[in-house]
Amino acid sequence: MESEKISKAELDKYIAEARAYAKKAVLPIKVVSKTVGTNLPEELFKEYSGGGTLKVQVTSGQGTLPVENALVEIASIFDGNRILIFSGKTNTSGIVDGVLLPALPTELSENFETAADSGIEYLVSITHAAFDSAVDVPIKIYNGIESILPVNLIPILR
């Protein structure tokens, strides 16, 4: 299969359009706020100039049944402190969607020496009264990318 060749200018234009689209398409649902948009220190925004989104899909029964009203909390470790960034509940489909989180610049993922360190790790905890909790599930967020975290909760037997 032969690939279609494009010029550097066309590629740059495509990347700029994709980044502009990603900025428009990403809207946080509910964010615990002290600074603009999140509970993160301003220094983190200066260090992490990009942004990616997270979608959490909470289910039970090995992914067959959505879990509504599960509490989803997203935290980050910054300067040795745990910072709650987001807190929200899943919808009827068991989903929390469109959570905007700081990320490192895309350029880091384009260099093989820095690609392994181009994502920022966040910790996701899910709780619901009828299920065992999932605590500190790690997920990496990359600039301009929607990361999807499927979580299967196990019912509490009473």
Query: For 112-139, b where at least 16 C-beta lie within 10 A, e where not — what string?
Result: eeeeeebbbebbbbbebeebeebeeeeb
Q: Which fold has domain 28-153?
A: Immunoglobulin-like (2.60.40)
Residues in Cβ contact with 142 at an 8 Å cutoff, skipping those fewer than 6 apart: 50, 52, 103, 104, 106, 109, 118, 119
pLDDT, position 25: 42
CA distance 96 to 90: 5
Give me the residues of the chain with pLDDT under 50, please.
1, 22-38
Task: Assess contact for 89 and 56: CB atoms under 8 A.
Answer: no
pLDDT, position 94: 95
- Give me the residue label for tokens 């470790």: 77
Task: Assess contact for 60 and 67: CB atoms under 8 A.
Answer: yes
pLDDT, position 5: 67
pLDDT, position 124: 96
Enumerate the domain spans of the chain.
Answer: 28-153
